[in-house]
Amino acid sequence: MIFLKTEDEIELMRAANQVVAGALAEIAKIIRPGITTKELDKLAEEYIRDNGAIPTFKGFPNPYGPAFPASIFASVNDEVVHGIPSDRPLESGDIVSVDCGALLNEFNGDSCYTFCVGEVTEEAKNLLKVTKESLYLGIETAIAGKRIGDISYAVQQHCESNGYGVVKEFVGHGIGKKMHEDPAVPNYGRRGNGPLIKNGLCIAIEPMITLGSPKIGMMPDRWTVKTSDGKLAAHFEHTIAIHHGKAEILSSFEEIEKIEGKLY
Ligand code: MG
Ligand code: MG
């Protein structure tokens, strides 16, 4: 069941997503070689709580193992999603996808950014560029009257035409009072298919894109998902609302890009 949001609810969604955007911006300020993803997690959790919100991912249940122990998913290099923050210092050349969620006034924010640590290869930079571009192409396609499959197609077409793999096992989603609501928003699909896009629809669009094969595998910790071929993966995510017929981005990369520079 899809819950369309009122104008007031969209404003509450924006507030929650701005907390997430702020937490990711805090990470952008300090991410560098030598820092650990556990330190990034601590910073994000403090920021979220200082802003009166709750880190959604902390304690997130897992039917196959322990609940998630941290406030961010930190996925390094060949880790696609759901990486557990660790004590391993980051090295120059690493890429780190930081996925963050916050609950504020009963509504959820959800956004992810893949950061570069020190100097990364051109190959990695291009993967990040194309993945981020595909996110924005998906967002541009999210217009009232179109269908979810139009978003899916836009993301898939851009990534695959650049030679990259599209992860199929994880998808974007509706978002609101629950972190994951209907509809599913796959990063692959056919134009004109799937649920109709209407005003009040709030969704997280989140391409998870691989340098090589899109095949993935689950690690023994029952959280971390890696590429099967050990090649890099990237992940960018915005939460959007359909408002006055078109997509409004409720999360934000603006502060991150001021720090990181707009590579792409
Ligand atoms: Mg997320
Ligand atoms: Mg999400």
Residue whose token pair is 């210092």: 89
Helix axes 148-161, 122-141, angle to 10 degrees: 160
Question: Which chain residues have CB less than 5 Å from ligand 1, an ion?
Answer: 99, 110, 112, 237
Distance 161 CA to ligand 2 centre (A): 24
Helix, strand, coil in percent for the chain, rounding step 5: 30, 30, 40
Domain 7-260 homologous superfamily, CATH: Creatinase/methionine aminopeptidase superfamily (3.90.230.10)
Distances (CA, A) of 75 to 28, 78, 89, 141, 160: 15, 8, 13, 28, 22
What tens digit of pLDDT does each residue of 12-52 get? Answer: 999 999 999 999 999 999 999 999 999 999 999 999 999 99
Task: Confirm if 240 and 139 have CB atoms less than 8 A apart.
Answer: yes
Whether the model clears a pTM of 0.95, i.e. scores above it, the answer is yes
Q: Which two tokens stand for residue 194?
A: 């799937």
Distance 144 CA to ligand 1 centre (A): 23
What tens digit of pLDDT does each residue of 44-76 get? Answer: 999 999 999 999 999 999 999 999 999 999 999
In degrees rounded to 5, what are phi and psi of residue 154? -60, -45
What pLDDT is attached to residue 263? 59
Distance 72 CA to ligand 1 centre (A): 9
In the chain, domain spans: 7-260
Low-confidence ranges of the chain (pLDDT < 50): none
For the chain, the first-to-last Cα distance in angstroms comes to: 37
Relative to the alpha carbon of 101, which ligand is closest?
1
Relative to the alpha carbon of 181, which ligand is closest?
2
Percent with pLDDT over 90 in the chain: 98
